């Protein structure tokens, strides 16, 4: 069954639910629990694990926290530090690498504008390095950035634009930032995924484009994303689950009908609802009503985490 999600942690959950097992061959999982944040690191190490998870080999770091939904400086500061610490673990201690940051997505559509908004808030320094003929700096690294738009705007495959840039400026790594899809409403705009395997723009909503990864670009690709949408079948499944829980609480514990509904696996509920919606073309993509503020907040968190990671003088 095709689950619309870009999150590795959710693919892991789908496997666990379907197999009733927490062990996946070729996949290692590490959990880090904090008072206000949960970090899950899913590392796909083998081809078998990649096939099971339907994800490329690499690390997938998922940072989950309700702090992302709070529009205050203290909450943002905590999230920035969580993201920064994970980025430092990926980037290492070499301060002199050249980085190309790509803001994927359509800036005209708010739920898809995370990439462009984040790039606009990131400290770009490549032009300064070139103007002063600098090879390195103790406080800053060389960073370039671009939001290439989408094929519907440019008529050009995004991957082709990025590949051309990589061939011209020869960065040591590419950071691709994009809006993602989730299968759970409670993860929308409260989760950040960092991946070392690259990214396929549009895959989570069924519109996959050219994959941005080391194989295609020739350099390391780190993907950073926030789930901003779910499909209608996912939303309906979540609402149905809440309704069933409420009905069970108000009914006899031994009521067979509600218990039968409760025992249906999540993926089975999703598939049932999806099949009911598809013939009527009603399986829409859904986003929260306050998406403008939440995209802005996520862009601030990611851009500042990048600034502090790539430019030590900012810390």
Question: Each residue of 54-66: pLDDT tens digit?
Answer: 899 999 999 999 9
* pLDDT at residue 31 tops 70: yes
Whether 161 and 43 map to the same domain: the answer is yes
Q: What is the CATH number of the domain that holds 111?
A: 3.40.50.1450
For residue 1, being part of any structural domain is answered with no
Whether 36 and 117 map to the same domain: the answer is yes
Question: Each residue of 263-302: pLDDT tens digit?
Answer: 666 666 666 666 666 655 555 778 888 999 999 999 999 9
* pLDDT score for 94: 81
The span from the CA of 76 to the CA of 258, in Å, is 41
Q: How far is CA 231 from CA 13, 14, 144, 190, 206, in A?
A: 18, 16, 34, 17, 11
pTM of the complete model beyond 0.75: yes
Whether 145 and 254 map to the same domain: the answer is no
Q: Which long-range contacts (CB under 8 A, 24 or more apart) does 127-132 make?
A: none
Whether 105 and 223 map to the same domain: the answer is yes
For residue 2, being part of any structural domain is answered with no
CB 223 within 8 A of CB 198: yes
Most confidently modeled range among 78-87, 134-143, 145-154, 272-281: 78-87
For residue 22, being part of any structural domain is answered with yes
Q: Which long-range contacts (CB under 8 A, 24 or more apart) does 124-130 make?
A: 125/311, 126/98, 126/169
| Mean of all residue pLDDT scores within the chain | 87
Whether 240 and 219 map to the same domain: the answer is no
For residue 54, being part of any structural domain is answered with yes
* pLDDT at residue 1 tops 50: no
* pLDDT score for 306: 97
Whether 33 and 140 map to the same domain: the answer is yes
The span from the CA of 179 to the CA of 108, in Å, is 13
Whether 212 and 302 map to the same domain: the answer is yes
Whether 50 and 155 map to the same domain: the answer is yes
Whether 66 and 205 map to the same domain: the answer is yes
The span from the CA of 169 to the CA of 167, in Å, is 6
Mean pLDDT of the region 128-155 = 92
Residues in the chain, how many? 315
Give the residue from 121, 100, 127 showing the smallest Cα distance to 218. Answer: 100
Share of the chain above pLDDT 70, in %: 80
3-state secondary structure the chain: CCCCCCCHHHHHHHHHHHHCCCCCCCEEEEEEECCCCEEEEEEECCHHHHHHHCCCCEEEEEEECHHHHCCCHHHHHHHHHHHHHHHHHHHCCCCCCCEEEEECCCCCCHHHCHHHHHHHCCCCCHHHHHHCCCCCCCCCCCEEEECCCCHHHHCCCHHHHHHHHHHHHCCCEEEEEEEEECCCHHHCCCEEEEECCCECCCHHHCCCCCCECHHHHCCEEEEEEEEEEEEHHHHHHHHHHHHHHHHHHHCCCCCHHHHHHHCCCHHHHHHHHHHHHHHHCCCCEECCCCHHHHHHHHHHHHHHHHHHHHCHHHC
CB 52 within 8 A of CB 25: yes
Q: How many domains does the chain have?
A: 2
CB 142 within 8 A of CB 128: no
Whether 151 and 254 map to the same domain: the answer is no
Mean pLDDT of the region 236-247 = 68
Question: Each residue of 158-209: pLDDT tens digit?
Answer: 999 999 999 999 999 999 999 999 988 889 999 999 999 999 876 545 566 7
56 phi, psi to nearest 5 deg: -70, 160
Mean pLDDT of the region 25-43 = 95
């Amino acid at each position: 069954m095709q689950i619309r999600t870009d999150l590795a942690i959710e693919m892991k959950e789908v496997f666990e639910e379907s197999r009733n097992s927490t062990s996946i061959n070729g996949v290692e999982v590490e959990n880090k629990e904090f008072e206000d944040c949960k970090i899950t690191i899913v590392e796909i190490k083998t081809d078998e694990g990649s096939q099971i998870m339907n994800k490329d080999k690499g690390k997938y770091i998922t940072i989950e926290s309700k702090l992302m939904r709070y529009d205050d400086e203290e909450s943002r500061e905590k999230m920035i530090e969580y993201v920064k610490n994970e980025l430092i673990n990926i980037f290492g201690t070499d301060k002199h690498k050249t980085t190309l940051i790509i803001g994927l997505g359509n800036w005209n559509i708010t739920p898809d504008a995370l990439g462009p908004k984040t790039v606009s808030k990131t400290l770009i320094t490549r032009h300064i390095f070139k103007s002063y003929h600098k090879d390195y700096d103790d406080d800053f690294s060389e960073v370039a950035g671009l939001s290439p738009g989408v094929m519907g705007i440019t008529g050009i495959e995004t991957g082709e634009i990025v590949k051309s840039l990589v061939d011209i400026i020869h960065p040591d790594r590419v950071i691709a930032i994009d809006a993602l899809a989730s299968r759970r409403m409670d993860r929308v705009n409260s989760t950040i995924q960092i991946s070392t395997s690259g990214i396929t723009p549009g895959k989570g909503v069924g519109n996959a484009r050219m994959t941005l990864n080391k194989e295609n670009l020739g350099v390391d690709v780190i993907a950073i994303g926030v789930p901003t949408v779910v499909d209608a079948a996912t939303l309906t499944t979540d609402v149905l689950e809440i309704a069933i829980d409420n009905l069970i609480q108000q009914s006899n514990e031994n009521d067979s009908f509600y218990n039968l509904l409760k025992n249906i696996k999540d993926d089975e509920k999703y598939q049932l609802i999806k099949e009911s919606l598809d013939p009527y073309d009603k399986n829409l993509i859904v986003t929260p009503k306050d998406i403008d503020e939440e995209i802005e907040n996520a862009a601030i968190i990611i851009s500042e985490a990048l600034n502090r990671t790539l430019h030590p003088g900012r810390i």
